[in-house]
Amino acid sequence: MVGLDGPDDAAVWRLDDSRALVATTDFFTPVVDTPYEYGAIAAANSLSDIYAMGGKPFLALNVAALPPDLPPEISGEILRGGAEKCREAGVVIAGGHTVQDKEPKFGLVALGFVDPRQLMTKNGVCAGDVLVLTKPLGFGVTTTALKRELTSPAEAQEVIGWMSRLNAGAGQLANEFGLLGATDITGFGLLGHGWEMASASGVSFRLEFSRIPFISCAEKFAQAYTFPGGSADNKLYFEQFTHFAPAIDEIHQLLLFDAQTSGGLLLAVPPEKLAALLARAQELHQPAWVIGEAVTGSGIEII
């Protein structure tokens, strides 16, 4: 049902009329200093692609590349962080594979099920849909500051808490309201992944900068220019598809291009469902911010 033809977050294979298999993988180098939290974030990030397709994960395999001189207790904490995050998601880790490498890398191969009628894709957006984001931005600029030892304990804990949070609640919300268009915000940033959705759906996105949420220290570290290299790469490529209001300076533009790890879902919500969806989000204790809308046209406009 979903393969190499589109920019979607996972492959989807129909099993029968009521079930399809969702398959994805993701892994990366450490984004935080503590091994347990690194493992948990990597697992949450890997499972996110299942939720972004409207599915529920059930099985995972570890993928790890570890230096031979890395103390076993550190490797164990990375794997424990991933395992406990998977347990929280109701996912069984059934094995995996490890190789030696100079720099640690960890993630998952993740499998999930989705009802084909509840499948969400990047091409499921219609003009008039309202765009809802389920996690704030600023993870990339803050984790780079963390690597440079510029963050306070509270700032580090804030970004770790958000990155460790599963997108299960956001996925449940999308399923309950029969949404068809979604993606998760990761390495290409809000504007990169947003453009993928808009382009695949044949619409334009109009975003309101003042409504876009950021973690509390994002502005501080943006001013210190602690952006990861991926954020600049995103701007270099995706800015050709974006138009910013003159009042939005380069620093704040980069925050929208900022490469995220384990970001939230970007959901396309039909306007007649919005009020009920936001009320249900409160009941689920699921953050949800309205940040713009899909309109006719192409590209992304930030006002």
Report residue 199 as tokens: 């382009």
On whether the CB atoms of residues 261 and 159 are closer than 8 A, the answer is: no
Query: What is the number of domains present in the chain?
Result: 2
Looking at the fold, whether 18 and 150 belong to one and the same domain comes out as no
Query: Can you tell me which residue has the tokens 């589109």?
Result: 6
Looking at the fold, whether 114 and 135 belong to one and the same domain comes out as no
Q: What is the pLDDT of residue 6?
A: 82
* CATH number of 243's domain: 3.90.650.10
User: Could you give the 3-state DSSP secondary structure of residue 92?
Assistant: strand
Domain that holds residue 97: 11-118
Per the domain annotation, does 5 fall within a domain? no
Q: What is the pLDDT of residue 25?
A: 97
Q: What is the pTM of this model?
A: 0.96
- Measured between alpha carbons, how far is residue 198 from residues 5, 131, 175, 193, 202 in Å? 16, 11, 21, 9, 6
User: Could you give the 3-state DSSP secondary structure of residue 224?
Assistant: coil
Looking at the fold, whether 165 and 238 belong to one and the same domain comes out as yes
Q: Please give the average pLDDT of every successive group of 10 residues along the chain, which has 303 residues.
A: 89 96 97 96 98 98 97 97 98 97 97 97 97 98 96 97 98 97 97 97 98 98 96 97 97 97 98 98 98 98 98
